[in-house]
């Protein structure tokens, strides 16, 4: 008699966060409720063997989970992160190296066009080429109203979330060969904007639009462009940019009734980067606990 497969209940909370707080940019090492990047659960099967990837925001959260998953699938990885996040970045590199792949961290600020250009150059130099660009890094800061969003914050959100994606794509495309891909992290905020995240939601909608347009341009070159739209995912960004009461109930509004974990998003990136998605470009893949999207 064969063993019967039993699926886990996806609505069961696992490590639901409390009302914790951190100073921005937030660190995985300081989370009271650790996020799950797949350290003990992700099993690779060679789906990205020999690929070379550049991942922004790779120190923690979704970026770390994607770096870990890519490495266990056979890819070498360069991650970008803020200098203040070096401790977390070192742990990501350790996980990549532990998987038997090359891992390199390049600290800097994505709001600097010169850094974005240098980041692509370093990735090509360190890995011998580039096959996958993951534009994942983002900045947000919750505000009570439009009047509370300063020009300084608005500028930081747009430069981190949109300008950097534009600069990195522009620098990376000349190095991408047929079969390569670009993956952008958007959000359910692109479709269901929260009043407290107006500027952030604006950029996420822009990412979806940019993805669709660039996909059409690069399709004749054999380069695919897609976006993953996460819902509420538990990362250090949350307690460092949201008030305690929102952190404590984070993810509770989804049909599944809980926040997602970074590893649950990483599977979507692996799929879109793999040959299994060879006929998918200009598309959005939602990982959002059942939140209805158009």
The domains of the chain, with CATH numbers, are 46-287 (3.40.50.720)
Residue 200 a catalytic site member: yes
Query: Catalytic pick from 42, 115, 191, 200?
Result: 200
DSSP the chain: -PPPP----TTS-SS---S----TT--GGG-SS----STTT----STTTT-EEEEETTTSHHHHHHHHHHHHTT-EEEEEE-GGGHHHHHHHHHHHHHTTS-EEEEE--TT-HHHHHHHHHHHHHHHTS-SEEEE--------SSGGG--HHHHHHHHIIIIIHHHHHHHHHGGGPPTT-EEEEE--GGGTS--GGGHHHHHHHHHHHHHHHHHHHHHGGGT-EEEEEEE-SB-STTTTTTS-HHHHHTTTTTSTT-S-B-HHHHHHHHHHHHSGGGTT--S-EEEESTT----
**What pLDDT, in 10s, does the model give residues 36-86?**
899 999 999 999 999 999 999 999 999 999 999 999 999 999 999 999 999
Of 27-36, 82-91, 234-243, where does the model show the most confidence?
Answer: 82-91
Q: What is the mean pLDDT of residues 208-223?
A: 98
Query: Is residue 1 scored above 50 in pLDDT?
Result: no
The pLDDT assigned to 238 comes to 79
């Amino acid at each position: 008699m064969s063993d019967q497969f039993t699926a886990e209940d996806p609505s069961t909370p696992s490590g639901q966060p409390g009302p914790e707080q951190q100073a921005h940019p937030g660190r995985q090492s300081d989370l009271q409720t650790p996020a799950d990047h797949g350290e003990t659960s992700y099993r690779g099967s060679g789906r990205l063997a020999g690929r070379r990837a550049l991942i922004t925001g790779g120190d923690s959260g979704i970026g770390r989970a994607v770096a870990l998953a890519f490495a266990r699938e056979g890819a070498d990885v360069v991650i970008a992160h803020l200098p203040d996040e070096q401790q977390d970045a070192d742990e990501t590199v350790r996980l990549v190296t532990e998987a038997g792949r090359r891992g390199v961290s390049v600290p800097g600020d994505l709001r600097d066009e010169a850094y974005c250009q240098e980041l692509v150059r370093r990735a090509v130099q360190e890995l011998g080429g580039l096959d996958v660009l993951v534009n994942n890094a983002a900045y947000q800061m919750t505000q009570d109203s439009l009047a509370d969003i300063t020009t300084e914050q608005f500028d930081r959100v747009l430069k981190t979330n949109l300008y950097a994606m534009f600069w990195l794509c522009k620098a990376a495309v000349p190095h991408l060969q047929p079969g390569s891909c670009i993956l952008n992290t958007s959000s359910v905020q692109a479709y269901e904007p929260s009043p407290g995240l107006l500027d952030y939601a604006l950029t996420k909608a822009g990412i979806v639009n940019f993805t669709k347009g660039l996909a059409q341009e690069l399709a004749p070159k054999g380069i695919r462009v897609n976006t993953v739209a996460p819902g509420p995912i538990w990362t250090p960004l949350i307690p460092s940019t949201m008030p305690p009461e929102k952190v404590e109930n984070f993810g509770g509004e989804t049909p599944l009734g809980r926040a997602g974990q970074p590893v649950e998003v990483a599977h979507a990136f692996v799929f879109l980067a793999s040959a299994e998605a060879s006929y998918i470009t200009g598309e959005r893949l939602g990982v959002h606990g059942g939140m209805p999207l158009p």
